Amino acid sequence: MARLELVPLDRPDVAPRAISPRLRTQLVYFMSPHDAPGVPALGEHEYWFAEAEVVRWLDDGVFYLVSPLDTANMTEVELTEEQEALLGWLKAKAVQHVRLAE
């Protein structure tokens, strides 16, 4: 199996961070939309994590998802240790723009 890594594009001095296949599928929970203010043009397999959002999720210990069964309401989801570690890395290293490398 290929090793999955997040390669910081805005901080080339920061070493890539290995992630699990499971966390790979969860990146969409935390990435900023491509058309959000301040998000640069993103290439294939690139993600932008807004610093303010990362800080908020870490402070709250939760994030919110839209339920496919009830799109009118959001579901509060507690961060897993793995998600919290990723968000902590993004914050500590001041990384917002990454590329997923396999």
Work out the average pLDDT over 8-30: 97
Indicate the pTM of the whole model.
0.92
Work out the average pLDDT over 25-54: 96
Q: How is 9-77 classified by DSSP, letter by letter?
A: SS-TTSPPEEE-HHHHHHHHHHSPPTTSTTPPP--TTEEE--HHHHHHHHHHSEEEEEETTEEEEEEEE
Predicted confidence (pLDDT) per residue in 65-99, tens digit: 987 787 888 889 999 999 999 999 999 999 999 99
Q: Is the pLDDT of residue 1 over 80?
A: no
CA 10 vs CA 22, 57, 75: distances in Å: 24, 21, 32
Work out the average pLDDT over 48-74: 92
How far apart, in whole angstroms, are the C-alpha atoms of residue 95 and residue 68? 31
The overall average pLDDT reported for the chain is 94
pLDDT of residue 31: 96
Task: Yes or no: say if 54 and 90 are a contact pair by the CB < 8 Å rule.
Answer: yes
pLDDT of residue 70: 79
